[in-house]
Amino acid sequence: MSSSKEILDTKKYNKLIVVLSVLIPIVVAALFGIKIPNVKPLAFLPPIYATVNGITAIVLIIAVFQIKKGNRAMHEKLMKLAIILSVSFLVMYVAYHMTSDSTKFGGEGTIKYAYYFILLTHILLSIIIIPFVLITYVRGITNNIEKHKKIAKITFPLWLYVAITGVIVYIMISPYY
């Protein structure tokens, strides 16, 4: 059972979670539509941010293994790293799209439908995952462990899917850059 202090600590984060969960997708969408004039395209970024997504997936898996082994301190460090990696991905992704034209997928037939399905689910879940990650993190740092475990069972597979599909989308579109 959670103490009243832990519940208060969690509640003080709720407004921030809501604000960030709404603001991040809106800001990203707005920035996505802005092209910085007279700036050389940052064409080197896609393989870097795809690699960051892959590393995020690995970090998430290792973090789960660490908590299952009872290594809470390492789990917490790895989860903070996963958040930092996800934020760095987002910054690079936005920077790339603010300096470069979007790349059109050139595949045809079944592969085209597979690509767009993966891309669409990746984008939608990357928006949906924001409040899940924030709530899960807050429940962990406020020591609300039972509720943390409960939501982490949802957050982990969603976040892992987003990280892995980010790499898959890059691999599928990379021949068309």
Q: Which of 10-24, 115-129, 135-149 has the lowest mean pLDDT?
A: 10-24
Phi, psi (degrees; rounded to nearest 5) at 164: -70, -45
Domains of the chain with bracketed CATH: 4-176 (1.20.120.80)
Q: How confident is the model at residue 110 (pLDDT cuts 50, 70, 90)?
A: very high
Q: Is the pLDDT of residue 167 over 90?
A: yes
Q: What percent of the chain has pLDDT over 70?
A: 95
What tokens were used for 141?
């740092």
Tell me the C-alpha to C-alpha distance, in Å, between residue 30 and each of 25, 43, 98, 120, 128: 8, 21, 10, 18, 18
The closest alpha carbon to 166, from 122, 112, 104, belongs to: 122
**Eight-class DSSP state of 2:** -
Tell me the C-alpha to C-alpha distance, in Å, between residue 59 and each of 3, 18, 47: 31, 26, 18
Q: Is the pLDDT of residue 3 over 90?
A: no
74-86 pLDDT, tens digit each: 999 999 999 999 9
Phi, psi (degrees; rounded to nearest 5) at 19: -60, -50
Say which residues have a Cβ less than 8 Å from residue 62's Cβ, sequence separation at least 6.
78
Q: Is the pLDDT of residue 97 over 80?
A: yes
Say which residues have a Cβ less than 8 Å from residue 102's Cβ, sequence separation at least 6.
none
* Per-residue model confidence (pLDDT) at position 5: 57
